Chain A
Amino acid sequence: MLRPWLRQCPRATRSLACSQCHLPRPQFTRRTLNPRSLSQPIRTLQTTAAESPDRVPLRKQLKQDAKAVKARKRQTRENEEASRQKWELTVGIEIHAQLNTESKLFSRAPTSSTDLPNSNVALFDLAFPGTQPEFQIATLLPALRAALALNCDIQPVSRFDRKHYFYQDQPAGYQITQYYEPFAKNGYVDLFAHDGIAPEDGDMVRIGIKQVQMEQDTAKSQEYPPSTQLLDFNRVSHPLVEIITMPQIHTPATAAACVRKIQSILQACNAVTTGMELGGLRADVNVSIRQRGDAAGAHQYGGISGLGQRTEIKNLSSFKAVEDAIIAEKNRQIAVLESGGVVAGETRGWTIGSTETRKLRGKEGEVDYRYMPDPDLPPLYIGADLVTELRNTLPTSSDALIELLAGPDYGLPLEDAKPLVELEDGARLEYYQEVVDLLRALQQDQGPKAQKGLARVAGNWVLHELGGLLTKADLAWDGERVPAPTLAALIDQLQRQRITGPTAKQVLAMVFDGDARPIPQLLEEENLLLRPLSREEYVALAEAAINLNPAMVEQIRQKNQLGKLGWFVGQMMRMGEKGRVEAPKADAILRELILEGRS
């Protein structure tokens, strides 16, 4: 679940990934507050095993392998760049997304796909003779939300057409779609650097949405060669939206970013059921190339002329597949043209993990879909009042949310704002907002300066500290595990310097593991409140530490090896009463005793 954004979020990657290989903090594992903490897996074993001497050659081997991979990647990058200088790639995308609706598009059968095969099927879904479609108006709502979130003009009148082809998964022999007059047109999606677009696309690109149309999904078929097909019609006529972008994408990375962004927009406005990973979203890409600075190509797609002959790659089911398939197809077309050949207009396929697209059918085998207006379905009239209402109730777009979080009100770094918005379909953001609100209320008595940093501090705790615990325990997000008021109370104590940072982390882990005591009570009972040490106590501790290793003191004094001060700080922390020694103060005293004494 985290994978999609980890790649573009280095900081989150670091903190979340590192938390897995960290040794558990001693106080964390030693606490025996409740049975659950006993069952925590101990992860130290793996790290020590890797250090055994006989594994060293393997490590070397791995290092060399990594080096080789790096070199290959560099070479590929250079080749890519060279061909990019010469050839311009143009990509348009068609995305099919299952709408989040209770019923099918033209029958009252429920859409649930998890039920017994062929249990949610109306007579019309099976194309029984004499049956007619009954357009389910409610299915329009998520479709409209999607179109509005993609900044489309909603058409007051749209129509349904039949797209004919024979296939086992298509019971009527045609799919009902909106070919001639779709319900939404002329939208756009903005892609920013943080969305993962290619560096050569700069900070932002805007990709036009040609149209959005409603249509039926097909049945699920399972093949048992040589001649048996099992069909499950539960999915047949599940409402889909097809989103067609303009051919305005010129890099593979940006194409993948575009699909990713459209998926997140669709999920944010609750228009779709699931994402690509669960098959709720599929993409087809149209790929063409033309030589830069050359005479314009002879083809026109989506009103953009001067393009090269395009090919279509069907049914891509992951963001990586989108990117990889485009790279492979682009390179294939370049190879064809550079060897004097001609790119044929054809439909191609892509298998995950392969390096080449493969031809599915050529132009001569192309299906003529014989589009015809559906004579049973009246035009779809969409009132301006409905559109206005939906527009007003549309959730804030993720772009606007990220801008807000990264702005002066919250002051989050961009790489934190993005995952916060995208994680768990916004559940993490809701939790975060609750923590910030509560924390701001708790800190009302503090000065404006202290108030200002709260949102950023809260972001760090929600995303990295709490996120780290989740990752370590390999658990899915649960906002109730550490309730927002508890986290807010904890951060409040930290901000007021009643506890140290390490103590706060320790307490968070205790709560995470099930300690339900209110924070003040917990701090009191566990004796974790910071009782500041006096100067005399610090001096005594420092002197005790110095006496442990006078040689090192000399090194610091003689060679000015200030880094070694940290060791003494650590010693002081260890020797002092737990949770009472504050590192900055210990450091200051050490400097005073060691450095000022040397002159």
Chain B
Amino acid sequence: MSLLREAERCFANQGSHAALNALITTLHQSGQWLERVKDADARRTRGTPKSKVDGRLIAFKDNICTRDLPTTCASNTLDKFISPFNATVVQQLQDAGALIAGKANLDEFGMGSHSIHSKFGPVRSLRCDHDAESLSAGGSSGGSAVAVATAQCYASLGTDTGGSVRLPAAYTGTVGFKPSYGLVSRWGVVAYANSLDTVGVLGSDVSSVRNVFDIVNQHDPRDPTNLSPSSRSRIDSHLRMPALASRVTSSLKIGIPLEYNISELAPSSRRAWSRSLAYLRQQGHTLHTVSLPTTKLALSAYYVLAPAEASSNLAKYDGVRYGNRPEGPDNITSTEGCLYANTRGEGFGSEVKRRILLGAFSLSADSMDNYFIQAQRIRRLVQHDFNAVFRACQPLNSPGLGKNLDSGEAGVDVLVCPTAPSPPPRISSLMGHGATTSSLEAYVNDIFTVPASLAGLPAISVPVTTGSAKNSEDSDLAGIQVIGQYGDDGLVLKVAELLEGKHL
């Protein structure tokens, strides 16, 4: 299929699936994209494409800054905001010939697990349950996931702070990849929790995800948390050591984290997990149970650390230099008696306010030691847990510090586990008067995704189907997560490829 044909189909799908509310800003009929895609087609015909994504339409989560389109973060405070610059990832993909398919809907500032906390209304998944009830698209990159699932774009970029790319991928049947922290530039990505925020890629298959990842996996000096060229080459030479290089051809050691087998695990999720493991064993790989004892604490630590950073990052939205600001004075003399009370009160939605308050509390002088510091300790323990089970060591740890040598023969190459503990809930159960799920319950959906975020590890969610092959009514779609050691992004993508789209 020509690139033009593909782009035109994406454009048509954006129109026909508008009701899903996946995109906040869409392609325009008259936009320049048509000409650019035609140019790319011409380059492709000549055999000189700019890259594998030349002429492809890529949707960007609306917390990734674009110069030409608004960047709203799905927030009232930024609903007309246009950034004066492109995020590095946008620039990199445009330089590679890709086009902006639109700006994807999300939970405000990335805070949420179902993409329902948006100023522009909730994202709807194409999937329905047996009673034809709309299901959650997952969040917070739900718009990016639905746009991919309904072919409104070739692939999309999301952000993953505690699972925000992987969870919607699992709920929508797409592939969602969170690379190792520091590989992809965050310059121009609106911060939610800087130490966790990772730009991730969503696609209909692993190869499209890899094509996009290869473009954005580059050093960017403007992001101080981005890996330097020297760190990147350290990781490369580490992975070229014979013991690790041989994994590409030999059988892999697959780790099964015992602590992920929780009692709340939905039967369909457990079935997808066990059948995926069985399939991998059939393919000649070996299975090994491992223990990650700090897993249970990870979710609590995440919901202390992420809101703490969020409360700090979101302090800048005061309506003074950009963003919305209500009429009239908003200073100490106003009725509320607090500087910016009106601007921030009207600018933020309830979930964002909740997390700002949580964060402000855990950072306050009397709580700091008991919450923030403790959570950082847990975060360190989570990292130790992972380092203890992987065959490869954390390549950036300086040698001679604690347990740093490879776990040797005892260690596993990747961990395989469910992405979410249960299938997507109905949107009606999450919103409005029918809501039966509290915020706290929504947080539980992140239980399997948060540990890899805390440790900065590469993790991917791939869709697998279980049940009767003949009767799709009885079959269940679930996301299976593959987690690798830091820097082992290539291996994680490879294992994902083994599983993707399998009917087990």
The residues of A with any CB-CB pair to B shorter than 8 Å are: 123, 126-135, 162, 164, 166-168, 171-174, 226-227, 231, 368, 370-372, 375-378
Contacts and interface: CB of A to CB of B under 8 A. Distances in A.
Interface stretch (B43-51, B82-90, B263-271, B444-452): B82-90
Interface in B217-251: 221-225
B312 A130 contact: no
A165 to B, nearest CB: 9
Given A226-B333, A375-B309, A132 B224 contact: yes
B364 A128 contact: no
Kindly name the residue among A130, A133, A368, A372 whose own CB sees the greatest number of chain B CB atoms within 10 A.
A130
Nearest to A106: B224
Contact of B321 (A127, A130, A162, A166): A127
Contacts of B85: 123, 130
B224 A372 contact: no
B420 interface: no
B195 interface: yes
A129 B312 contact: no
Interface string B175-206: 00000000000111111011100000000000
B151 interface: no
Contacts of A227: 329, 331, 333
Contacts of A131: 187-188
Given A128-B83, A375-B193, A162 B312 contact: yes
B222 to A, nearest CB: 7
Contacts of B309: 372, 375
B73 interface: yes
B440 interface: no
Interface in B328-356: 329, 331, 333, 339-340
B317 to A, nearest CB: 8
A376 B318 CA distance: 21
A364 to B, nearest CB: 14
Given A166-B315, A372-B309, A378-B224, A130 B194 contact: no
8 contacts: A129-B191, A130-B65, A130-B188, A131-B188, A132-B186, A132-B222, A167-B339, A372-B363
B339 to A, nearest CB: 5
A164 B312 contact: yes
A376 B224 contact: yes
A154 B360 CA distance: 32
B113 interface: no
B81 interface: yes
Contact of B312 (A126, A168, A231, A372): A372
A164 B73 contact: no
B223 A132 contact: yes
Contacts of A167: 339
Interface class of chain A by DSSP: loop
Contact of B320 (A162, A171, A368): A171
Given A164-B315, A173-B315, A368 B224 contact: no
B189 A375 contact: no
B316 interface: yes
B486 interface: no
A360 to B, nearest CB: 13
Contacts of A376: 191, 194, 224-225
Nearest to B366: A368
A123 B224 contact: no
B416 interface: no
Nearest to A167: B339
A372 B71 contact: no
A222 to B, nearest CB: 14
Contacts of A133: 224
Nearest to A135: B224
B401 interface: no
B222 A134 contact: yes
Interface class of chain B by DSSP: loop
A133 B224 CA distance: 7
Contacts of B368: 370-371
A284 to B, nearest CB: 19
Given A171-B321, A227-B333, A130 B224 contact: no
B78 interface: yes
A129 B222 contact: no
Interface of B: 64-65, 71, 73, 78, 81, 83-85, 87, 186-191, 193-195, 221-225, 308-309, 311-312, 314-316, 318, 320-322, 329, 331, 333, 339-340, 360, 363-365, 368, 372
Given A372-B312, A375-B309, A129 B83 contact: yes
Contacts of A226: 329, 333
Closest 6 CB pairs of A and B: A173-B315, A370-B363, A375-B194, A227-B329, A375-B195, A127-B316
B315 A174 contact: yes
Given A372-B308, A375-B194, A128 B360 contact: no
Nearest to A133: B224
Nearest to B338: A166
A135 B78 CA distance: 27
Contacts of B322: 128-129
Contact of A168 (B191, B308, B315, B320): B320
Contacts of A370: 311-312, 360, 363-365, 368
Contacts of B189: 130
Contacts of A172: 315-316
Contacts of A377: 224
A556 B130 CA distance: 133
Contacts of A171: 316, 320-321
A376 B71 CA distance: 21
Given A173-B314, A375-B194, 12 more contacts: A123-B85, A128-B83, A130-B65, A130-B85, A131-B188, A133-B224, A171-B321, A174-B315, A368-B364, A375-B193, A375-B225, A376-B224
Contacts of B225: 132, 375-376, 378
Contacts of A168: 320, 339
B455 to A, nearest CB: 15
Contacts of A127: 316, 321
Contacts of B190: 129-130
Nearest to B186: A132
A511 B358 CA distance: 74
B84 A128 contact: yes
B465 to A, nearest CB: 38
Nearest to B341: A166
Nearest to A173: B315
Nearest to A172: B316
A152 to B, nearest CB: 26
Contacts of B65: 129-130
B383 to A, nearest CB: 16
A172 B81 CA distance: 17
Nearest to B194: A375
Kindly name the residue among A129, A130, A135 whose own CB sees the greatest number of chain B CB atoms within 10 A.
A129
B496 to A, nearest CB: 29
A130 B191 CA distance: 6
Nearest to B360: A370
Kindly name the residue among B65, B222, B225, B316 whose own CB sees the greatest number of chain A CB atoms within 10 A.
B316
B361 to A, nearest CB: 9
A375 B196 CA distance: 9
Given A130-B188, A172-B316, A123 B339 contact: no
Given A171-B320, A227-B333, A375-B193, A130 B87 contact: yes
A375 B186 CA distance: 12
B228 to A, nearest CB: 10
Contacts of B73: 129
B390 to A, nearest CB: 24
A375 B190 CA distance: 14
Nearest to B73: A129
Contacts of A135: 224
A129 B329 CA distance: 24
B320 A129 contact: no
Contacts of B78: 129
Contacts of A378: 224-225
Nearest to B361: A370
A123 B364 CA distance: 29
